[in-house]
Structure 1
């Protein structure tokens, strides 16, 4: 976008806009029985408690409106006027933390339950909820897999995706990646088209757009809204979009305008009546002026100039609307629609379009995550290289250690370094999980799935990659450092390394689910790993560790179980020579033979043999608890 229209761009638009309806057979009906002819609301008020004064404060106050099918409506107003709050209320989303919502919304003059309303609407966030490592077609495919019922056949899904690609003029970019910070993809305007198209998979009758032109130049903004307008008219969809400061040509695309200031209505009606209405109340729109900019200027109370009359002017405009004939006409229209609906006694019902089951959703998320993982080098590619570098460094620093007492401490140091720093470097997973979590939050808000499928898919997709990392790291470092030369011992080492990484990544999921901020999550995960290193048993042995740290943190430290498991794996069945002079550093039953039995080393640390199964069970329990807490955090936190 922003450049001249593509092959499917303006020329196609001049002829026709493809409708979004596809042929469903009788057994696979998908669209709702009843079309949405009108969407209206009355007396919408959102009240919160002011943090400073502790008094009730209205975010929006007594907002009413009425929209008909095929119309494109603009929500405009200065920053902080309540546009997003109103859009969220209309879309049945949380308005604000602790907010009290009053008023009613009607579809075809009838109140509709939340479930039915959710099936007939879609919401496009201000920020594109797109995965950059997917192609445009794949983005729409996974949107279909996550939202369409199983009864919709594969052929119907393909037809639906093709229709949407053509409707939005992005069929030529179908095989192009959306784009990541490393790999360039489609343009900003095309991303907005893909975002809208992905929400139209379910054939919604009402579409909410939050700042659809944010970050786009005037050309791209115009093209995005032009597609929206043609979409609304060709498919009888109601589209309500909050928009900040459109150009004149973009502003003229809208059918109706709802102008807000300070949470109150300044105007609601046809775009064509803006000039006459504001002229009647003493604020005529100057010639050769962008009407959108003019309206935003006169309803803004933040900058009043030297006269300081901006607040009074805004109050006058709000009062003029409240007593105007246009305002009364809107209220009468909403009232009349409800009366007609009561006479017909026909409650609006939707075809029972069940969402895909949890198994289907989880499988779709796994498939999508798999594609993302091998295409997005940030997710695992860079981490694999990073861990291989760590393995080479470890293997060459602790190169070919000998089974003699002079090398016992270097063996122990190598075990600590390998286990502790492998888990510490799991902080590199923070940005990838934050991106995945952001996608989940937006898709959950649209009712696609909950925390359980996301958490299960996130856990399962990481296992093969973490096992691959564990194996590659061990192949390099284990044999270079000359740990116990035994195949079973090597596989046990790999097992501990794998469980270490799974636990460390689970810690990242837990912390980042609570604090989805890169800097905060990074700091907390790093701090937690530092704590685990301190109480894990290497820096201070468990036999002399301070009781507070031992009983509060040591026993829940996953690194502690990995360290002692690796220690037992290395020393339980190995014998070390005491060297020249036969001065043995550790006393064992082999001292007379000038040798040290490895179990003597374990005794100094207080580690017993034969407990590997117990430690593995505890470690799996710790992983499960981290994931459970992460699930609880995702379930409770909605943003």
Structure 2
């Protein structure tokens, strides 16, 4: 599948969430208030709330922002087929999640294999989603460049399994300066944060010349954060119970999957039909191979050389049946290879609740069994009567 088809499939599987209900409620309130919506914004919201379409503006927007528009019509590729690069594959995986209606995203090391510019563009787009759509995104990055670091609103600094700091980005340097450590002007803040809790690198950031340096452990930083004004404010917020009157039924989803079972089945079936169409050469080759082997088998087990009437004559017929069974069996190994190659993708999509697992199995049965029946019918029609088996219709 191409990059565009992959993102379209993930968007259809994940659904639109509460976008349709939100659009309906918004339209009612606009009519009541006499507000005329902006035509472009109205068209965009309606396009994003439509479910089940094969292509959608959400896919085009995701491709553009993630920098995948240049390879949108290229296949993903694998070990045998040349496709997109490793960094682009990472962005495709990120894009699969961004096309859905999720309001909370947790991303781990999304910058692996990407250059600084691509990482900056992805994080910038995610930041726009957070501010415009009021979403929550947590991203773990290892030594991000300064321009990417400055895009974050809040920072969570982890060290040795403890949360050293959790709060606004603008206050993190103030916290460490209060502890006696200052980030040099030409030092990236992300690099400073990674090294300041390390026993080996901590001393170089000590700026209180009038005081003797003493190693500050991670546990001491944790205790200092509790007395820091950001930490105290966080503790106060945690002590206030959640006001359930401010919530909304649409805030939490009640459905496990983004589509109904029937819609999920149709979505997975459409993907399977697309893959079978792309691999049509394999099916044509298999049928052609059966035709050639069938003609050869007809000459080997020709009915004039197949005596019958004695028990000892049954050996040749058993041999013909065994050979036919082996041919049909080995002819289906290509399907087994396709299924095994699909398993890693299936496991990922199953874990992310793209569709119920039974739809994948049922689609494979519905789509592959007719192909196997056609292949078996071609073999039997060619060889049955020529081999000298019982000509009665019931026996056939």
Band of TM-score, shorter chain: 0.5 to 0.7
Q: CA offset at residue 316 of structure 1?
A: 0.6
User: In structure 1, how many angstroms separate the alpha carbons of the residues matched to 2:395 and 2:103?
Assistant: 61
- Which residue of structure 2 lines up, in the alignment, with residue 333 of structure 1? 234
Matches of residues 517-596 of structure 1 in structure 2 within 5 Å?
571-572=389-390
Q: How many residues align?
A: 344
User: In structure 2, how many angstroms separate the alpha carbons of the residues matched to 1:468 and 1:286?
Assistant: 73
Contact 2:12 2:51 in 1 (8 A): no
Distance 1:167 1:388, change over 3 A: same
Contact 2:306 2:316 in 1 (8 A): no
The question of 1:465 aligning with 2:371 is answered yes
The question of 1:230 aligning with 2:128 is answered yes
Q: Which of 228, 236, 249 is residue 349 of structure 1 equivalent to? A: 249
TM-score by length of 1: 0.45
Q: CA offset at residue 212 of structure 1?
A: 1.4
User: In structure 2, how many angstroms separate the alpha carbons of the residues matched to 1:331 and 1:450?
Assistant: 45
Q: Which of 324, 344, 347 is residue 418 of structure 1 equivalent to? A: 324
Q: CA offset at residue 233 of structure 1?
A: 3.1
The question of 1:358 aligning with 2:261 is answered yes
SS in 1 for 2:142: coil
SS in 2 for 1:350: helix
- Which residue of structure 1 lines up, in the alignment, with residue 30 of structure 2? none
User: In structure 1, how many angstroms separate the alpha carbons of the residues matched to 2:231 and 2:220?
Assistant: 16
User: In structure 2, how many angstroms separate the alpha carbons of the residues matched to 1:284 and 1:349?
Assistant: 47
Q: Which of 254, 260, 271 is residue 368 of structure 1 equivalent to? A: 271
SS in 2 for 1:213: coil
User: In structure 2, how many angstroms separate the alpha carbons of the residues matched to 1:155 and 1:458?
Assistant: 21
Contact 1:192 1:224 in 2 (8 A): no
Provide structure 2 residue ranges, at least 5 long, that are not aligned to the other structure: 21-48, 202-213
Q: CA offset at residue 369 of structure 1?
A: 1.4
**Greater strand fraction, Structure 1 or Structure 2:** 1
Distance 1:237 1:175, change over 3 A: same
Q: Which of 128, 148, 165 is residue 250 of structure 1 equivalent to? A: 148
- Which residue of structure 1 lines up, in the alignment, with residue 222 of structure 2? 321
Q: CA offset at residue 297 of structure 1?
A: 4.8
TM-score by length of 2: 0.68
SS in 2 for 1:257: strand
User: In structure 1, how many angstroms separate the alpha carbons of the residues matched to 2:315 and 2:130?
Assistant: 73
User: In structure 1, how many angstroms separate the alpha carbons of the residues matched to 2:295 and 2:164?
Assistant: 71
User: In structure 1, how many angstroms separate the alpha carbons of the residues matched to 2:67 and 2:126?
Assistant: 12
User: In structure 2, how many angstroms separate the alpha carbons of the residues matched to 1:386 and 1:239?
Assistant: 49
Distance 1:286 1:393, change over 3 A: farther
Could you list the per-position Cα deviations for residues 311-351 of structure 1 after superposition, in whole angstroms to 9, with x for gaps in the alignment?
xx998123312332466734643542662743x74344316
Q: CA offset at residue 362 of structure 1?
A: 0.5
Contact 1:265 1:321 in 2 (8 A): yes
- Which residue of structure 2 lines up, in the alignment, with residue 522 of structure 1? none
- Which residue of structure 2 lines up, in the alignment, with residue 445 of structure 1? 351
Contact 2:162 2:222 in 1 (8 A): no
The question of 1:455 aligning with 2:395 is answered no
Could you list the per-position Cα deviations for residues 181-226 of structure 1 after superposition, in whole angstroms to 9, with x for gaps in the alignment?
4544444444444433433344332222232122323343333223
User: In structure 1, how many angstroms separate the alpha carbons of the residues matched to 2:328 and 2:160?
Assistant: 53
Q: CA offset at residue 365 of structure 1?
A: 0.7
User: In structure 1, how many angstroms separate the alpha carbons of the residues matched to 2:327 and 2:386?
Assistant: 23
